[in-house]
Each structure stands twice: as structure tokens, then as C-alpha cells.
Structure 1
């Protein structure tokens, strides 16, 4: 995957991961892919809900040990 930006919010809790990815998304062109890394288990529910609300595409969300990694493609 060609990642346009990587957002690492490890150690931060809701709502920080969503606020940070939203901030990055505003600066990117449509179709850009963003990787979000978080240790907040709430991301499993929050990221899909945020994508649904904003129209961005949740490409993938997976757990890696104590971290969660999500890839989101900006709507356009």
C-alpha cells in the first residue's frame, strides 16, 4: 500500500486518535491513504464509525499485539 501519511497515536486515548487522523485528512488530496496506529482498544469501534460518518473508506483495521493499525482512504 502506498501510504501518504502515518499517524501514530500510541499511548493516547479517545478522542485523540480520531482527532489526529481527521487533522491529517484535511491536508491530503482525495484518494490518499493514511495509516493510523493506536494502542486504544476503542479504535476498533471508533474508526469504523468515524469512516461511516465522514465517507472515508476504511480499507483495513487489524490488531498487532497491543496496537491497532488502520488504513483509511480519503473520500473524494
Structure 2
């Protein structure tokens, strides 16, 4: 995957991971792919819900050890 930007929020808890990806998405063009890294297990529920609410595409969400890694493509 061709990552446009990587956002590492390891150590931060809700709502920081979502606030950080939202801030990045505002300045990117449609089609951009953002990798979000978090150690907050709430990301498993929060990221899909945020994508549904904003219309961005959740490409993939996976667990890597103690981290959760989401890939979100900006739509529109």
C-alpha cells in the first residue's frame, strides 16, 4: 500500500487517536491513505464508527502485538 501519511498515537487514549487522524484528514486530498497506529484497544470500535460517520473508507484494521493499525482512505 502506498501510505500518504503515518499517524502514531501510541500511548494516547480515546479520543486522541480519532482527533489526530481527523486533523490529518482535513489537510489531505481525496484518495490519500493514512496509517493510524494506536495502543488503545478502543480503536477497534472507534475507527470503524468514525469512518462510517465521516464517509472515509476503512481499508483495513489489524492488531500487531499490543498495537492496532488502521488504514483509512480519504473519500471526497
Check whether TM > 0.5. yes
2:19 maps to what in 1?
A: 19
Unaligned runs of 5+ in 2: none
What's the Cα RMSD here?
A: 0.3
2:51 maps to what in 1?
A: 51
TM-score after normalising by structure 1: 0.99
Provide the rounded CA distance (Å) in 1 between the counterparts of 2:16 and 2:68.
14
Q: 1:35: how far off?
A: 0.1
2:33 maps to what in 1?
A: 33
Unaligned runs of 5+ in 1: none
Provide the rounded CA distance (Å) in 1 between the counterparts of 2:50 and 2:71.
13
Structure 1 residue ranges (4+ consecutive) displaced by more than 6 angstroms after TM superposition = none
Q: 1:12: how far off?
A: 0.2
Provide the rounded CA distance (Å) in 1 between the counterparts of 2:26 and 2:47.
16
